[in-house]
Amino acid sequence: RKEVEQDPGPFNVPEGATVAFNCTYSNSASQSFFWYRQDCRKEPKLLMSVYSSGNEDGRFTAQLNRASQYISLLIRDSKLSDSATYLCVVNPGGSYIPTFGRGTSLIVHP
């Protein structure tokens, strides 16, 4: 089993739609979790950290489920500019070497 798994998609949604991605991780001792956004042929950039209590940043909501070992990202009212690849990142316990999933591609169309 891969350390961090994501559905590569693509998720093809209309503007205004709500879309959710999940990411599963294998190391139950993992300490910290993040979502990064990567635009085509660009470098990844931090979108948001994922806290145990869940957190929200505008249209974006991240959740952590430790029991089932997954994190999620919910995007409400999708915009064309949300089209990108969303990378799930997990920091294993006792290490500070983030492990990336392969990313989920989102395409928002008019």
Partner 1 sequence: ETGVTQSPTHLIKTRGQQVTLRCSSQSGHNTVSWYQQALGQGPQFIFQYYREEENGRGNFPPRFSGLQFPNYSSELNVNALELDDSALYLCASSSYRGDTGELFFGEGSRLTVL
| Neighbour tally for 88: CB within 10 Å | 27
The SS3 of residue 110 is coil
Choice between 70 and 100, CB closer to partner 1:
100
**Burial tier of 72 (Cβ tally within 10 Å: 0-12, 13-18, 19+):** middle
Residue 56 in tokens? 């929200």
Given the complex with partner 1, which of 4 and 75 has the nearer CB atom? 4
Residue 63 or 105: which CB sits closer to partner 1? Answer: 105
Which of 61, 78, 84, 101: binder of partner 1 (CB under 8 A)?
101
**Cβ(92)–Cβ(30) under 8 Å?**
yes
Q: Which of residues 52-91 bind partner 1 (CB under 8 A)?
A: 87, 89, 91
Contact residues toward partner 1 (CB under 8 A) are 4, 6, 8, 32, 34, 36, 42-46, 49, 87, 89, 91, 95-103
